[in-house]
Structure 1
Amino acid sequence: MICLSRSLVGIYLLKCILCEGLCGERRHVIGTLGGDVILRVDGTGIMGDITWFISGNHFATTDPGGHINIRDNQYNGKLYGLAGGSLNITELDMVDQGIYTASTLRNTSTKEELCAQVYDLRIYRMLSEDDIHIEHNVTSMEPCSMTFTCTVNRSDVNVTWSSSVGSDINVTDYVLYVSAPDPKMIYTCTAQNHISTSSNSVTPWEY
């Protein structure tokens, strides 16, 4: 009977999240694979526990005193409650990425109301030089012309080319076109995501 009551409470809270207003704008949170992240709760006017959901799963409950009740065993050892009811998620994995909702009863200047704070958690891997691959192709011997294609084995990255002297370069879709290369000219392919930047360089004269 107790388990049934808790299930009904969870269903009720989820329905309330769908019908009540938001506590504020959706928050975009960036995390690093293997690191930790904090989903911060605005403690103003909070009148009790904060109920945490992801994909309809009520996985934890926190309170303003920093206590936490983990309801889903898969989160044991990686969730911690913080003062104000905020949630600390540690040892981030890609499966932790998603939309989180914190439902709480808040006392405003006019009334008490249930509202939901929504967090969009995105997790990224740190980039390294090994993630960046440059392939070359000699297209002409006289004059010497070649192309260099930069590929990155990670998703959600921005890729750019640059030269060692800052001069204009000919690039189309990550492909660098070089003609009559200067022996001292170095070209660098740089990859960047939300948490890191890495690069790899090439000297066309070597080819």
Structure 2
Amino acid sequence: MASLFCQSVILLCVLKRVGCLDCGGFSTLSAEERGQIIFPGADRGYIVWSVYTDDKWHVIAEFGNVTAYGNDRYQGRLRISSQGSLIINDLRIRDTGRYRADIRDDDMLCSSLFNFKVQRKISLQDIKINYVMTNREPCHINVFCTVHGIKAVVSWNISHGEGTVAQLPFPSWHTFLYFDEYKGISGSVLNVSRVNPELTYSCTAKTRFCTASRSVTPWEYCQQGKISSENININYLITDEEACSVNVFCTVYGIPVPVSWNVTHGVGAVNQLTFPHIEYGTSFNEENKNIYGAVLKVLNADPELTYSCTAATATNATSISVRPWEYCQQGGTLRDRSYTIENTIRLALAVCILLSGSLLSYCHINTELN
């Protein structure tokens, strides 16, 4: 019994000695896609390299030579150094896995295991930019810079102009609103108060092997979707000339925005009709699809009252003021601020009648001459 114990101790010591000299136990290695990895070899004995795939170990190199399986799997990208190191060039994602080095020396066997991961090369397409506007005027904004599926250190800095950089922890509570899942996402949140139109920020994503950056100008986000007075159209329809009752149409073409009326001068009530209104639709039925607006109904227009139509987007609000009483003084039916639709139609009809009369006269004179 004592003899067996002694033999076990001797064997353990031998294995420990071999392991210290030639074996590395268990190691975790990583390298970048399209790069190179060198698995360390042994300074003595013979070494056999294997990869674990399809639920079993496959020998890919032994005694300094690459096996047929190794050639087939790695397609000429695999070689063995004079010290027995395993070298894989032009790494692919599928090269990720477990590798084993079996070192044979003086009839003893020692193994080193490697858990190897090929890290995908980061590119501009991997960096995603999103933003949330927290205040419209002045413009305050949070800009999210994220990298999906790649462990990276993400940070912001100013690439053009002078200012300070305020970063929020990631993930922040805003993240849950804009990303279905945040596991496996690396990122950083840029917090910008009172956005400066002159500042450009750069988001940099850095791994052990490479760096990629994308630049943004938050001011451009503040300007997106802004509406101006040129986008607002005012038309009116007098429903009762004697009592001066007017329907005033405030419309915005092509921009989905809420539109509303209010009194800006004087004291009075605001009565809004549903939009699109039947009378507005009758006159503009070809373009009703992308029209957003509100209809102000005014009965017995007060010459002292001024109304304001406001269209508001996520970034700004614009208003136009009108006095319905002035429309009653102009008379007519459905009118635009700059021209009268009916007068245009009358002018076109007059031109047609004139041309028709001229043509008939010409034909009559020509007939008489013949």
Q: TM-score, with normalisation over the residues of structure 1?
A: 0.73
Q: Where is the helix percentage greater, Structure 1 or Structure 2?
A: 2
Tell me, yes or no, if structure 1 residue 191 matches structure 2 residue 205: yes
Which letter does structure 2 place at the counterpart of 1:67? N
Q: Among 194, 197, 205, which residue is 1:180 paired with?
A: 194
Give the structure 2 partner of residue 88 of structure 1. Answer: 87
Between the two structures, name the one with larger relative contact order (CA 8 Å, sep ≥ 6). Answer: 1
- Kindly report which structure 2 residues correspond to 1:32-181, keeping only aligned pairs within 5 A, or say none: 32-43=32-43, 45-46=44-45, 48-55=46-53, 56-63=56-63, 66-71=64-69, 73-106=72-105, 113-164=108-159, 165=162, 167-173=164-170, 174-181=188-195
Q: Among 182, 200, 215, which residue is 1:201 paired with?
A: 215
**C-alpha distance in structure 2 between counterparts of 1:93 and 1:53, whole Å:** 15
Residue 25 of structure 1 deviates from its aligned partner by 4.4
Residue 76 of structure 1 deviates from its aligned partner by 4.5
Query: How many residue pairs are counted as aligned between the two chains?
Result: 180
Aligned residues: CA RMSD: 2.6
Which letter does structure 1 place at the counterpart of 2:199? M
Which letter does structure 1 place at the counterpart of 2:117? R
| Contact 1:146 1:179 (8 Å CA) reproduced | yes
Q: Where is the strand percentage greater, Structure 1 or Structure 2?
A: 1
Residue 184 of structure 1 deviates from its aligned partner by 2.7
Q: TM-score, with normalisation over the residues of structure 2?
A: 0.44
Residue 162 of structure 1 deviates from its aligned partner by 2.5
Which letter does structure 2 place at the counterpart of 1:62? E
**C-alpha distance in structure 2 between counterparts of 1:102 and 1:133, whole Å:** 40
| Contact 2:122 2:211 (8 Å CA) reproduced | yes
SS of the residue corresponding to residue 67 of structure 2 reads strand
Residue 87 of structure 1 deviates from its aligned partner by 1.5
Query: Structure 1, unaligned stretches of length 5 or more?
Result: 1-19
**C-alpha distance in structure 2 between counterparts of 1:128 and 1:75, whole Å:** 25
Query: Structure 2, unaligned stretches of length 5 or more?
Result: 1-14, 171-187, 223-370
SS of the residue corresponding to residue 95 of structure 1 reads helix
SS of the residue corresponding to residue 205 of structure 1 reads helix
Residue 85 of structure 1 deviates from its aligned partner by 1.6
Residue 178 of structure 1 deviates from its aligned partner by 1.1
